[in-house]
Chains A and B, each alone.
Chain A
Amino acid sequence: MINIDTYAYSNRLKTVHPTEKFLFAMITLVVCLTSPALITPLSVLALMAAGIIIKAGIPGRFFVKLMLVPLSFLLLSVLTIAFSVSTSPAGFWLAQNIAGLTVGIRLPDLVTAVHLLIKSLGAVSCLYFLALTTPMTEIISVLSRMRTPVIITELMALIYRFIFVFMEMATTIRRAQSSRLGYVSTKSSFRSMSGLFSALFGKVFLKSRELFDTMEARGYTGEIKVLAKKYPVNLKNYLVLTALEIPLILLNLLGR
């Protein structure tokens, strides 16, 4: 989680205009999700992997690790699609008879499952591309330029900032607790953990009041106005974007 954030600020694509990266990730995501065949998601996966590893310079090992995170969830949900239970053994490709019930895989289901798995991985890789190359603050700027309701973008910005503030607080409290042997046994761990939560909860309120004061001191009147960083618009990037998306879209259309 935190590593993703660190890479977002230090990758080789950080100087690219965030809108360009956002469009690239989002268009590819839509193309990937609407694809009828396996070939598009596979190309998307390859494209994003190349973008992340070669273009953005993120270590391949880290990317693979990230891709494995959703894989376990995906496998679980995909398995329920692949397997079916029936009273008649007809139509099964691979089956086992258990007490009169047939448990097994039907071939079309397996195809759907594999398709769904690859598609999801492709879609996830698009989101990783965005998350790994574009700082959250820039994504928020892009969203607000796209007329996302202010309440959403402001909340995103504040939540994002305070995740780190509170995480630091929680780490400090936890460290202080363990240095006083707060986590030696299961029982004390539970007690310490509950203490940590209540302490943090109180601090959240205190912090939010302080934040409001400090923002008022700088003339806050109900809307958070900030200046988005200017990035050079690169025509070449838009050409590359088009050149990459057109074949993918064509693949989709031809596959129908």
Chain B
Amino acid sequence: MSEVILEAVDIKFSYPDGTNALRKVNLEVKKGEKLAILGSNGAGKSTLFLHFNGIYRPDAGSIKYRGQDISYGKRALIELRKKVGIVFQDPDSQLFSASVWQDISFGPLNLGLGEEVVVDRVKQAMSDTETTDLQDKPTHLLSYGQKKRVSIAGVLAMEPEVIIFDEPTAWLDPRHGREFMELLEKLSQEGKTIIISTHDVDLAYSWSDRIAVMYSGELIASGEPGEVFLQPDIISRADLLLPWLLEMHRELVQKGWLPPSGPLPKTREDLFGSIAAKRERRLSVL
């Protein structure tokens, strides 16, 4: 069992207009894991994220970073934001500068790093997100996907230990979606802890180590992807769908093409590989 890096303990939060955005949420994030938070719009995912780096302060409960309650002093918050980065859903609200280069340099400069270190980090972040060619372009002439990548670079340049992505693949075309998943894989291999929120059950199922399901300000389930998706009541309560892999698998088991005791397929290759070719099957019967 790896150590818990970030933890929400009995978090309650309501917006000034009275909306109960979070009602007693408990969530542990383990170091180095890939956590997907599923839930429909308004379930409280983004609100929870804003608690994780101290933008919002819970009405009750606390956020723990490495076992310690986070404090909301100026210095402590800078320390926290150095460790926990958020990539917001709408790049237009994150990119405040018209210059790609300047925007990416903003975070690391706020950490008080020297200019040379910042230059190195900006360059590294640009090469990781393939935005090096965009550095001389103004942000308003970029496409949505390009803006998204620049906003990711702006957070990567701060080199946080935990990176939170709010709806990262929404509005990305399939190619950029795939490239983004490759980037996530790379970050994960570097030992970063990654949290994403999404509606995309297929993505969440295949990518994550663990899934948490939120519904109307509450965390209604968490666990390994296979485990969570095998609870039909949870899935329907949170207005989610089953990943196609699991649906297909269930269908194949029901119709007798696959043994019921076999492991759940995690990827498309797993599933396709487990389906035997027709001729082979006949031979094995003989």
Contacts and interface: CB of A to CB of B under 8 A. Distances in A.
Contacts of B92: 165, 168, 207
Interface string A219-256: 11100111111000000000000000000000000000
For the residues of B in contact with A, the DSSP-based class is helix
Contact of A226 (B81, B85, B109, B111): B109
Interface in A191-230: 207, 210-211, 213-221, 224-229
B93 A219 contact: no
Contact of B138 (A135, A211, A216): A135
- Counting contact residues on chain B (CB < 8 A from A), the size range is 35 or more
Given A164-B98, A218-B81, A225 B110 contact: yes
A97 B90 CA distance: 68
A interface secondary structure, majority? helix
Interface string B132-148: 00011111110000000
B88 A165 contact: no
B109 A227 contact: yes
Interface residues of A, number: 32
Nearest to B139: A161
Interface in B55-87: 55, 74, 78, 81-82, 85-86
Contact of B98 (A157, A168, A218, A220): A157
B41 interface: no
B96 A227 contact: no
Contacts of A5: 138
B141 A228 contact: no
B97 A157 contact: yes
Contacts of B98: 135-137, 157, 160-161, 164
A9 interface: yes
Given A161-B140, A221-B78, A227-B119, A137 B99 contact: yes
Given A161-B97, A211-B96, A229-B99, A218 B136 contact: no
Interface string B111-147: 1000100110010000000000001111111000000
| Residue from the set B107, B109, B110, B111 with the largest chain A CB neighbour count within 10 Å | B110
B158 interface: yes
B94 interface: yes
A220 B137 CA distance: 24
Contacts of A219: 78, 81-82, 107, 110-111, 158
Nearest to B135: A229
Interface string B154-181: 1100100000000000000000000000
The 4 A-B pairs of least Cβ separation, nearest first, read: A219-B110, A164-B140, A227-B105, A226-B102
18 contacts: A9-B137, A135-B99, A158-B96, A161-B96, A164-B139, A168-B140, A211-B96, A213-B55, A214-B86, A214-B93, A216-B55, A220-B106, A225-B106, A226-B97, A226-B99, A226-B103, A226-B106, A227-B119
